[in-house]
């Protein structure tokens, strides 16, 4: 944890660079004429995934400093704590980025409500590899539609109950529409070959997140969202629904801090999730 906090402080202290945005074609042309960077566009926070990609030759680091999830069932209470949810995004071309995600520490604790017995496990999490391809994006300062595709695969590097236990894969289609400089609409349909609850094999899971991103000022945003997921696990088919409210602030052009609260809307969804983190582009 000390290492994670120290890393966040180093990110905060690093100088911010200038910005630039545009359509994929415009970015490809401008990248040779203007050495400035696009606006910082982080996957954190929120249930949706943005359609933007990182500038070619640039690295973006996004770190979930802490995340707590509570799932209460009639017979047990399940708490999960994660720290160091690291995502590295590197721009390969003006419209393509490669991604690597990993959770440095996870702790899962289950308490039987009837007997009081407690079972706890801790360790590292799984590794996720992905590639995001931007298909369409409005020019700087313009309104319009942005679309990308994001295939990914998850490798079972984590411990049981911290990691999934087997490999999985999925596809997200990040989509957004900028109405004006204040409001943007977001939509992220997703389909997965999700790992079975038993930790062996895969099943179909699909759903979508949707939200409204509101710029309270040039440096602050508030984003309410909803997400619905149908999970066809062999042991228990379920439809999960969540509501989220997230807030982020950019004290510098290439630095962002965020906080998010998520509430489960039915009994098949964890009750509460709280998280905060930091993003920095180099």
Please tell me the predicted confidence (pLDDT) of residue 160: 73
As a whole number of angstroms, the distance between CA 98 and CA 69 comes to 28
The answer to whether the beta carbons of residues 222 and 216 sit under 8 Å apart is yes
Cα 146 from Cα 278, distance rounded (Å):
24
Is residue 25 very low, low, confident or very high in pLDDT (cuts 50, 70, 90)?
very low
Q: Cis omega (within 30 of 0) on the bond before 45?
A: yes
Distance from C-alpha of 151 to C-alpha of 126, rounded to nearest angstrom: 16
Higher per-residue confidence, 76 vs 161: 76
Neighbours of 92 (CB within 10 A): 15
Determine the pLDDT at residue 14: 42
Is the pLDDT at 20 greater than 60, yes or no?
Answer: no
Q: Is 99 left (phi over 0), alpha (psi -120 to 50) or beta?
A: beta
Averaged over 150-174, what is the pLDDT?
A: 92
3-state secondary structure of 130: strand
Q: What is the pLDDT of residues 195-243, one digit of tens each?
A: 998 889 999 999 999 999 999 999 999 999 999 999 999 998 999 999 9
Q: What is d(CA 66, CA 45) in angstroms, rounded to the nearest whole number?
A: 12
- Per-residue pLDDT band for 22 (boundaries 50, 70, 90) equals very low
Residue 244, both tokens: 């989220």
For the whole model, what pTM was predicted?
A: 0.84
* Beta carbons of 234 and 203 less than 8 angstroms apart: yes
Helices within the chain (DSSP H only): 2-13, 24-33
Q: What is the DSSP letter of 159?
A: P
Tell me the sheet residues that pair with 192.
Answer: 170, 205
In percent, how much of the chain has pLDDT > 90? 76
Mean pLDDT of the region 88-105? 96
- Average pLDDT of the chain is 88
Instruction: Determine the average pLDDT of the residues in 113-130.
Output: 92
Q: Give the whole-angstrom CA distance, residue 269 versus residue 226.
A: 13
Instruction: Quick: pLDDT tens for 126-144.
Output: 999 999 999 998 876 688 9
Q: Residue 11 above 50 pLDDT?
A: no
| Domains of the chain with CATH codes | 2-281 (2.40.160.40)
pLDDT at 159 over 80: no
Tokens of 135: 């298909």
pLDDT of the residue at 35: 54
- CA 242, distance to chain mean position in Å, is 15
Does 34 have pLDDT greater than 70? Answer: no
* Residues 47-74, mean pLDDT to the nearest whole number: 95
Q: In the prediction, which pLDDT does 140 show?
A: 66
Mean pLDDT of 264-271: 95
Phi, psi for residue 173 in degrees, rounded to 5: -120, 85
Compute the C-alpha angle 77/79/80, nearest 5°: 150
Q: What is the pLDDT of residues 49-61, one digit of tens each?
A: 999 999 999 999 9
First to last CA, the chain: 23
């Amino acid at each position: 944890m000390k290492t994670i906090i120290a890393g966040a402080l180093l990110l905060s202290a690093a100088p911010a660079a200038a910005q630039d945005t545009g359509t994929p074609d415009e970015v490809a042309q401008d990248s040779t004429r203007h050495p400035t960077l696009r606006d910082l566009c982080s996957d954190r926070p929120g249930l949706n995934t943005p359609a933007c990609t990182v500038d070619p030759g640039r690295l973006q680091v996004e770190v979930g400093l802490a995340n707590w999830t509570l799932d209460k069932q009639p017979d047990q209470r399940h708490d999960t704590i994660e720290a160091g949810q690291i995502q590295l995004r590197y721009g390969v071309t003006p419209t393509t980025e490669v991604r690597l995600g990993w959770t440095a520490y996870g702790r899962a604790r289950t308490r039987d409500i009837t007997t009081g017995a407690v079972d706890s496990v801790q360790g590292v999490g799984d590794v996720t590899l992905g590639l995001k391809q931007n298909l369409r994006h409005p020019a700087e300062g313009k309104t319009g539609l942005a679309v990308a595709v994001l295939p990914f695969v998850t490798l079972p590097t984590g411990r049981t109950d911290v990691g999934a236990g087997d490999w999985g894969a999925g596809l997200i289609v990040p989509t957004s529409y900028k109405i004006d400089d204040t409001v943007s609409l977001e939509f992220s349909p997703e389909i997965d070959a999700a790992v079975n609850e038993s930790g062996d094999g895969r099943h179909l899971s699909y759903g979508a997140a949707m939200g409204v991103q509101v710029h309270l000022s040039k440096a602050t945003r508030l984003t309410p969202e909803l997400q619905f997921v149908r999970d066809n696990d062999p042991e228990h088919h379920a439809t999960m629904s969540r509501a989220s409210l997230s807030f982020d602030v950019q004290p510098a052009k290439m630095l962002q801090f965020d906080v998010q609260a998520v509430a489960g809307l039915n009994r098949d969804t964890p009750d509460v999730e709280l998280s905060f983190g930091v993003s920095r582009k180099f």
